[in-house]
């Protein structure tokens, strides 16, 4: 047996047989080195038991559940940084005359419709991911602190449903957002010194570590949807229908447009939940063939829901700061027509697209 690492008198003991044998060359997050560690190859390493025996996996999952939410937040954070940088560049970079002929000279690119479209895509994806994550975080607090046991349980179930969505959706969209951040910069975005490419490289690990998107999606399908027969999922859909009604009562053009897309999105999600619950036992390969599209559909529809709520709140507070609140309303409107509108396509992938996912044999790929 090797000696202890720290002697009884506090002096250093023998070196532990744990060695860093290499540092990985990674695509991104290079400020966070990943090491290959070797334990015990030269006589045996000392390990120290943390907590009680046989409860390590349980402890690990306390860390992991928290880490999953946190990685979702990383997706939002790197996206926000990419957006700020892209907006700043678009305000300064002069290129081409406007398509509407409103100026005879080249203008800053923030005046070109497709640059606006890219910035609105980035902006709206960040806003929705943040809104969904904050609503989930509030439910986590309620689940821990509320006086009413029934409310605690309901909040806990809602939060548990949201964790894989926050992790999977916020990190998948961070790839799109940081990619658009490069695109807004044009050729300059491909030069490392510009800084846009770093976000693109850094973001790529987020849908992988602490459980890939597929692992999140399997959790969402299995433990979070099938286990309770879709009860929590349908409960969320009922809340979404309430937001649709409020948007309809408002009646403004942007509000009814969001209402219409949200209603289509919710119907698509309800169809997907019914498919998942009905077929999980009898044909798990068919259900899990659509698990990631199901996670994305949840992400998109919950996002539309939260922006629907946000635009109603922004409208109520508009007088306090019209410019800020109008931007909120336009961002919700943009998201509904450009991204929430993908919901029915995702439903088709889940409900009708399983057979060709599983059709090819290993040799046919």
Longest CA–CA separation in the chain, Å:
82
**Does 355 sit near a copy of itself (CB under 8 A)?**
yes
Sole binder of a copy of itself in the list 18, 19, 26, 157 (CB under 8 A)? 26
**Does 271 sit near a copy of itself (CB under 8 A)?**
no
**Does 331 sit near a copy of itself (CB under 8 A)?**
yes
The pair of structure tokens assigned to 180 is 């658009």
Q: Which of residues 110-139 bind a copy of itself (CB under 8 A)?
A: 110-117, 119-120, 123
What contacts 187, CB < 8 A, 6 or more positions away?
none
Q: Which among 210, 270, 320, 337 is annotated as catalytic?
A: 210
**Does 334 sit near a copy of itself (CB under 8 A)?**
yes
Sole binder of a copy of itself in the list 45, 67, 241, 257 (CB under 8 A)? 257
**Does 82 sit near a copy of itself (CB under 8 A)?**
no
Task: Provide, rounded to whole angstroms, the least separation between the CB of residue 84 and a copy of itself.
Answer: 10
Sole binder of a copy of itself in the list 205, 232, 233, 298 (CB under 8 A)? 205
Task: Provide, rounded to whole angstroms, the least separation between the CB of residue 294 and a copy of itself.
Answer: 11
Please state, in angstroms and rounded to a whole number, the distance separating the CA atoms of residues 12 and 302.
Answer: 55
Please state, in angstroms and rounded to a whole number, the distance separating the CA atoms of residues 169 and 216.
Answer: 10
Q: Using CB under 8 A, which of the segments 65-73, 160-168, 181-189, 236-244 binds a copy of itself?
A: 181-189
210 is catalytic: yes
**Does 8 sit near a copy of itself (CB under 8 A)?**
no
Task: Provide, rounded to whole angstroms, the least separation between the CB of residue 50 and a copy of itself.
Answer: 24
Sole binder of a copy of itself in the list 69, 159, 200, 255 (CB under 8 A)? 200
**Does 362 sit near a copy of itself (CB under 8 A)?**
yes
**Does 294 sit near a copy of itself (CB under 8 A)?**
no
In the complex with a copy of itself, the residue whose CB is nearer, 117 or 153, is 117
Q: Is residue 243 within 8 Å of 262, Cβ to Cβ?
A: yes
Please state, in angstroms and rounded to a whole number, the distance separating the CA atoms of residues 251 and 362.
Answer: 54
Sole binder of a copy of itself in the list 2, 40, 186, 195 (CB under 8 A)? 186
In the complex with a copy of itself, the residue whose CB is nearer, 87 or 274, is 87
Task: Provide, rounded to whole angstroms, the least separation between the CB of residue 274 and a copy of itself.
Answer: 17
Residue where the block lists tokens 């975080």: 137
Name the DSSP class of 18: E
Question: In 3D, which of 260, 242, 254, 262 has the Cα closest to residue 325?
Answer: 254
**Does 99 sit near a copy of itself (CB under 8 A)?**
yes
Please state, in angstroms and rounded to a whole number, the distance separating the CA atoms of residues 268 and 346.
Answer: 8
Please state, in angstroms and rounded to a whole number, the distance separating the CA atoms of residues 180 and 115.
Answer: 10
How far, CA to CA in Å, does 350 sit from each of 248, 274, 335, 353? 29, 11, 22, 6
The pair of structure tokens assigned to 197 is 């490419």
What contacts 74, CB < 8 A, 6 or more positions away?
171, 174, 206
Active site residues: 210
């Amino acid at each position: 047996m090797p000696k202890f690492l720290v002697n009884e008198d506090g002096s250093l003991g023998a070196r532990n047989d744990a060695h860093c044998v290499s540092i990985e060359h990674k695509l991104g997050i290079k400020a966070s080195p990943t090491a290959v560690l070797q334990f015990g190859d030269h006589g045996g390493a000392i390990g120290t038991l943390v907590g009680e025996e046989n409860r390590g996996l349980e402890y690990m999952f306390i860390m992991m559940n928290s880490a999953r939410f946190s990685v979702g937040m990383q997706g939002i954070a790197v996206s926000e940084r990419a957006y700020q940088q892209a907006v700043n560049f678009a305000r300064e970079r002069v290129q081409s005359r406007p398509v509407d002929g409103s100026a005879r000279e080249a203008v800053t690119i923030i005046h070109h419709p497709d640059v606006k479209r890219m910035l609105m895509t980035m902006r709206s994806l960040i806003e929705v991911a943040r809104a969904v994550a904050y609503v989930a975080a509030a439910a986590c607090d309620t689940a821990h602190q509320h006086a009413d046991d029934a409310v605690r349980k309901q909040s806990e179930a809602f939060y548990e449903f949201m964790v894989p969505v926050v992790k999977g959706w916020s990190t998948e969209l961070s790839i799109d957002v940081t990619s658009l951040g490069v695109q807004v910069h044009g050729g300059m975005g491909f030069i490392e010194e510009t800084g846009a490419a770093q976000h693109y490289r850094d973001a790529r690990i987020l849908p992988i570590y602490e459980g890939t998107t597929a692992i999140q999606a399997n959790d969402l399908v299995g433990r979070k949807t099938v286990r309770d027969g879709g009860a929590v999922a349908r409960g969320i859909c009922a809340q979404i229908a309430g937001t649709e009604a409020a948007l309809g009562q408002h009646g403004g053009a942007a509000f009814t447009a969001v209402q219409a897309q949200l209603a289509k999105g919710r119907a698509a999600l309800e169809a997907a939940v019914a498919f998942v619950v009905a077929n999980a036992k009898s044909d798990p390969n068919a259900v899990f063939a659509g698990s990631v599209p199901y996670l994305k559909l949840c992400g998109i529809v919950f996002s539309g829901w939260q922006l629907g709520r946000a635009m109603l709140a922004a409208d109520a507070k508009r007088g306090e700061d019209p410019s800020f609140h109008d931007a909120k309303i336009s961002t919700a409107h943009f998201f509904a027509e450009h991204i929430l509108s993908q919901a029915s396509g995702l439903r088709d992938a889940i409900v009708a697209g399983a057979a060709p996912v599983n059709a090819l044999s290993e040799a046919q790929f």
